[in-house]
Structure 1
Amino acid sequence: MYFNAKPLLTGALAASLLIACNADSSHDVKPGGDTDSSAAAVETKKPNSDYKPAFEGQTRIKGVHTQTPLDVKMLSDGLVNPWGITALPDGRLLITEKNGTLRIATASGQLSAPITGLPKVNSEGQGGLLDVAIDPDFASNRTLYFTFSQDVPPGTLTAVGKGKLAADEKTIEGATVIYQALPAFPSKLHYGGRLVWDKAGNLFVSTGERSDTVSRPQAQHLNSALGKILRITKDGKPAAGNPTFNAGDACPEIWSYGHRNVQGLAIHPVTGDLWEDEFGPKGGDEVNRIEPGKNYGWPTITYGLEYSGKKVGAGITQQAGLEQPVYYWDPVVSPSGAIFYSGDLIPEWKNNLFIGALSGMHIVRLVIENNKVVGEERLLADQQQRFRDVVQGADGALYAITDGEKGRLFRIGKK
């Protein structure tokens, strides 16, 4: 069938590579952080499975608590299904909305009118306009990159586009598709879609395996772009230095494989390593440090179960040649957008990983030392919001967006 990738991808992939609210609504709210400084883990619920971690500290690490007094403000509740957020050079924030528009938010939370001009998106299910990343030279070229779910018969796929923010900031000019993660598949789920730059000016792009049990094995197929982290140039071509594989028909843009649905990508500010977070099924959400060419196991190994409660595949959590997650959660927190903190506003957060948690309804803070998680905190849990993405602003504060038709923009800074 068409979703076996091999017969479709060789020709289709080659072709794809050629395409390559609005007043200030600031409100003071109660600062987040519901843990204490004891050694108890922040997770107290019973796990879904009886799987044991591969090493100490791989899950349910001790809780930590931010000592700096935090100032948390809801800046706006006028976003419509926001998904991605990035900081502009002038301190404003650029935010995607799933229906296919962008918004610009000021530091005080005032929102622009919807910015149009992007390609048509399929916003059903988990689809729509997803992430956005500005060009490293945005200040001079005003170019931005974005991911979205695109209708491509016989289904949909994760696409990467680029365009220029017009001088009047009302439209995106010259929007074009530069990459398509083939094969297309008839599913409304698991698009991945996160973007982050490497130090050489190439884009890392995440994809999902589209959730269906039929498409799921493609996370392991090297001739498919599903369930992968990809590395492409600004023109959508495979980046120089990508790993090579023994499979002669392997997609040359693959950086790593064996992923379920990667919705967080972040570069460590000191080591330069790529880290990701991805959704597990019932349990088994993961944080991974990504190395080129490595296989991260899905669906062969997992710490999660099927939603029915049955085991996934053979029900194993380890296998030779497959990478273990640095950290996992059971039950899930549904980890989404991620950022390593590199600012000076809150020094104790330096090099900590922050992740928006959807079903967890908090912002995850992970303290990482020597590539291991040594502490976990749950911030803004009192807000009872599905946190979709988080970014560090020019002022050193964190800015986070929440899911839904009345999406909120929060600022988390120092009192």
Structure 2
Amino acid sequence: MPLKPRYRSKRIFFVLACSLSVAVLAGAVLFDTKKTVRIDTQHYSLSLEIVADNLAHPWSIAFLPDGEVLVTERPGRLRRLVDDELLSEPVTGLPDVTASGQGGLLDLALHPEFADNRLLYFSYSDQTSAGMTTRVARARYESGQLQEVEPIFEALPRSSGGRHFAGRMVFDPDGYLYISVGDRGEMERAQNPSDHAGSIIRLNDDGSVPENNPFVDQSQVRDEIFTWGNRNPQGLTVHPQTGEVWSNEHGPRGGDEINLIRSGLNYGWPEVTHGINYTGFSITPHTELPGMESPLLHWTPSIAPSGIVFYTGSDFPLWQGQIFSGALRDKLISRVSVKETDEGYLLQEEERFLQEFGQRIRDIRQGPDGYLWLLTDENPGQIVRIKPAQ
């Protein structure tokens, strides 16, 4: 049975542009492969090691148990990093990927028993005469080849446009697969439960629908939907102690969010938001409403959050148990403290750093070496490893 979240937060924390921050320096800095650069933060001096570069908009990174690392490039290539060397030949066997707008080859997730079954999951945008959508497929991965490729989910209905595919994936400790689906730039779809757009999907590992999904057999709601009212969740992660799934989500102009993903909840978009439209006009007068879940934290103004991870390593003990979120628009990492009380989770942004690096952070993960790894959403993009400075 899935783990039941133990807490429900009713608190909203405003994160203003004047939040605690290391100094913001002007100008992007592009470093050569294997060069190490020192950056100071509130508690630690960091050594940023550029492991590989010359990637085209890298989007996701996955660490295999044998030490190999896989990285997606949004234009539709899956790359291999072996012994910290980026191989020139991409992985073969990918299906056709439609790289248009924000779409392309997106996230990677390893089956919980990957070491035995070699099952790799990947999300991507796909186009037919009916339009574009987000798809998820699984395949067996062996030595640079994908075999037995099998699509297991596609978001319906399809539509035109190249925005808000989401596509993040994570397995929880019970083996359920969670997939984020953006609203595709059509906000009203997120409040239509007969539409996959603007939701978090939960599936069994073969793509079938779990019997205990919240809307199973409700004729007006798609069985795969686990939550709805989500705008464009760009990060998914699992709490290291509770097994709960957490997300971060893009708002419009303001109102980026961190949410605890709980079965059957409506996260409100676009009926509630702390953001405004890109035109400057109001989307809604409401920042909260009965029956709609409030975020644990929101960033206003927007930072455009991307990958998200709980840090559990030993090299930076003051950071243990905290959330690290990359940011695209503001080109930084946001460090967020997480405290549990009888009333729920209390989140507070503690620091922003890496601004002097000057690059869009697309993904952030903790590797098996205990270090934080980053992907920069640039062309050329880079794979970066964060270590303690010597």
Cα distance in structure 1, aligned partners of 2:313 and 2:95: 35
Alignment of 1:47-58 (within 5 A): none
Give the AA of the match of 1:392: Q
What's 2:351 paired with?
377
What's 1:68 paired with?
44
What's 1:255 paired with?
226
| Counterpart selection for 1:349 from 319, 325, 331 | 319
What's 1:363 paired with?
333
Specify whether residues 75 and 32 from structure 1 end up closer, same or farther in structure 2 by C-alpha distance, changes over 3 A only: farther
Cα distance in structure 1, aligned partners of 2:353 and 2:80: 25
Could you tell me how far 1:97 is from its partner in structure 2? 0.8
Aligned residues: 354
Cα distance in structure 2, aligned partners of 1:134 and 1:79: 22
Give the AA of the match of 2:155: A
What's 1:153 paired with?
129
Could you tell me how far 1:378 is from its partner in structure 2? 1.7
What's 2:194 paired with?
223
What's 1:17 paired with?
none
**TM-score, reference length from structure 2:** 0.87
Could you tell me how far 1:245 is from its partner in structure 2? 7.2
Could you tell me how far 1:240 is from its partner in structure 2? 3.2
Cα distance in structure 2, aligned partners of 1:178 and 1:326: 31
CA contact (8 A) 2:94 2:146 kept: yes
1:387 correspondence with 2:361: yes
Specify whether residues 142 and 193 from structure 1 end up closer, same or farther in structure 2 by C-alpha distance, changes over 3 A only: same
Give the AA of the match of 1:25: T
1:232 correspondence with 2:203: yes
SS of equivalent to 2:188: helix
Alignment of 1:6-85 (within 5 A): 25-31=33-39, 33=41, 65=42, 67-85=43-61
Cα distance in structure 2, aligned partners of 1:32 and 1:326: 28
What's 1:128 paired with?
104
SS of equivalent to 2:39: coil
CA contact (8 A) 1:109 1:409 kept: no
Give the AA of the match of 2:377: D
CA contact (8 A) 1:153 1:184 kept: no
Q: Can you list the C-alpha shifts for 1:146-185, whole angstroms capped at 9, x where unaligned?
A: 000011332111101001112x32x211212111111101
Cα distance in structure 2, aligned partners of 1:208 and 1:142: 28
Give the AA of the match of 1:105: L
Specify whether residues 161 and 349 from structure 1 end up closer, same or farther in structure 2 by C-alpha distance, changes over 3 A only: same
CA RMSD of aligned residues (A): 1.7
Cα distance in structure 1, aligned partners of 2:317 and 2:85: 25
Cα distance in structure 2, aligned partners of 1:148 and 1:252: 21
| Counterpart selection for 1:138 from 114, 120, 123 | 114
Cα distance in structure 1, aligned partners of 2:274 and 2:217: 28
What's 1:325 paired with?
295
Give the AA of the match of 2:285: G
Could you tell me how far 1:320 is from its partner in structure 2? 0.8
Cα distance in structure 2, aligned partners of 1:248 and 1:139: 39
Could you tell me how far 1:107 is from its partner in structure 2? 5.5
Cα distance in structure 2, aligned partners of 1:242 and 1:97: 32
What's 2:25 paired with?
none
What's 2:373 paired with?
399
Give the AA of the match of 1:100: G
CA contact (8 A) 1:220 1:298 kept: yes
Alignment of 1:179-218 (within 5 A): 179-212=153-186, 216-218=187-189
Specify whether residues 246 and 324 from structure 1 end up closer, same or farther in structure 2 by C-alpha distance, changes over 3 A only: farther
Structure 1 gaps of 5+ residues are: 1-23, 34-64
Cα distance in structure 2, aligned partners of 1:192 and 1:293: 19
CA contact (8 A) 2:118 2:141 kept: yes
Q: Can you list the C-alpha shifts for 1:291-322, whole angstroms capped at 9, x where unaligned?
A: 1111100000110111000000x322111111
Cα distance in structure 1, aligned partners of 2:244 and 2:234: 17
| Counterpart selection for 1:340 from 306, 310, 321 | 310
Structure 2 gaps of 5+ residues are: 1-31
CA contact (8 A) 1:222 1:247 kept: no
CA contact (8 A) 2:217 2:223 kept: no
Looking at secondary structure, tell me which structure has more strand per residue.
2
| Counterpart selection for 2:86 from 79, 103, 110 | 110
CA contact (8 A) 2:182 2:232 kept: yes
Cα distance in structure 2, aligned partners of 1:366 and 1:200: 26
Moved more, 103-112 or 352-361: 103-112
Cα distance in structure 1, aligned partners of 2:265 and 2:280: 29
SS of equivalent to 1:146: strand
